[in-house]
């Protein structure tokens, strides 16, 4: 009787191990299936101001090393891009006469991993004379003109835009918060726009394409006295002065 019980327990253990192995293999297969399942990304690219569809180019690069790159064109019927692998993608959207845009999304996120189709619509801002371009994250710490690390992605976007549109000239307009005296604020604003210009020149942009104008604290975005408002006021704006 005791021997029979031991045999029965051994069978149960073997059966339990087999079930665990099968479950493990099933989960691995499901994971690999999710990673390899393709996803159709589609949508339209429109003018930010007029909402009209525009001819544009979209490049989807799988991160971190662009091991998979899918290129698509968008027109009046929009675009369609088959992404044959799951993972994080950087999408670069560009069109002549518009500010390029980039968007990152991950097809392995919980909200996306089960989708086989994904609608991604984009809006591009047109390059127009005397317009202030939407580069809003070139910010500085208090009383400093040193470029912060969080400004680097925005500066890289600005550099790409200038490289893609070689005829455009811009003016860097420097603004400060209301914490310093008028003369000192003006000097600080001047140093900040000079710092941005020097950064762009080092990246290959001609000095002749970049003008400078310091305003100090004259043109604040917000008059509310608080750390967030003051930080938003410490900025460099990009104005198109020649196309």
The CATH number covering residue 182 comes to 3.30.1330.60
Q: What is d(CA 92, CA 164) in angstroms, rounded to the nearest whole number?
A: 13
Q: What is d(CA 235, CA 169) in angstroms, rounded to the nearest whole number?
A: 19
Strand partners, 118: 41
Q: What is the pLDDT of residues 210-235, one digit of tens each?
A: 999 998 766 666 566 666 666 667 78
Do 155 and 232 sit in the same domain of this protein?
yes
Do 199 and 171 sit in the same domain of this protein?
yes
Residue where one domain finishes, among candidates 62, 94, 124 = 124
Domain ranges, residue 209: 132-242
Residue where one domain finishes, among candidates 124, 143, 173 = 124
Q: What is the pLDDT of residues 78-111, one digit of tens each?
A: 999 999 999 999 999 999 888 888 899 999 999 9
pLDDT at 225: 66
In a domain, 21, yes or no: no
Strand-strand pairing, 169-175 and 210-216? parallel
> Rounded to 5 degrees, what angle do the CA atoms 100, 101, 105 make?
155
In a domain, 5, yes or no: no
In a domain, 114, yes or no: yes
Residue where one domain finishes, among candidates 72, 90, 124 = 124
Report which of residues 148 and 209 the model is more confident about.
Answer: 209
Do 159 and 217 sit in the same domain of this protein?
yes
pLDDT at 193: 95
* 151 neighbors 137 (Cβ within 8 angstroms): yes
**Residue 33 pLDDT exceeds 50:** no
């Amino acid at each position: 009787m005791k021997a029979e019980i031991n045999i029965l327990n051994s069978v149960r253990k073997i059966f339990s191990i087999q079930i665990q192995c099968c479950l493990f293999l099933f989960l691995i297969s499901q994971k690999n299936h999710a990673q390899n399942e393709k996803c159709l990304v589609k949508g339209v690219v429109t003018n930010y101001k007029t909402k009209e569809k525009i001819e544009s180019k979209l490049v989807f690069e799988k991160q971190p090393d662009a091991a998979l790159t899918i290129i698509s064109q968008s027109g009046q019927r929009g675009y369609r891009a088959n992404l044959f692998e799951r993972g994080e993608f950087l999408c670069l959207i560009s069109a002549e006469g518009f500010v390029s845009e980039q968007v990152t999304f991950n097809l392995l996120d919980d909200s996306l991993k089960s989708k086989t189709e994904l609608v991604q619509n984009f809006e591009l801002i047109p390059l127009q004379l005397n317009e202030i371009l939407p580069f809003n994250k070139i910010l500085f710490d208090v009383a400093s003109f040193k470029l912060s690390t969080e400004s680097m992605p925005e500066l890289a976007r600005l550099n790409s835009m200038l490289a893609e549109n070689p005829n455009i000239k811009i003016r860097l307009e420097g603004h400060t918060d209301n914490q310093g005296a008028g003369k000192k604020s003006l000097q600080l604003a001047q140093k900040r726009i000079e710092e941005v210009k020097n950064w762009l020149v080092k990246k290959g942009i001609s000095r002749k394409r970049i003008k400078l104008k310091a305003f100090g604290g004259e043109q604040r975005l917000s008059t509310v006295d608080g750390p967030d408002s003051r930080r938003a006021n410490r900025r460099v704006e990009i104005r198109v002065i020649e196309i």
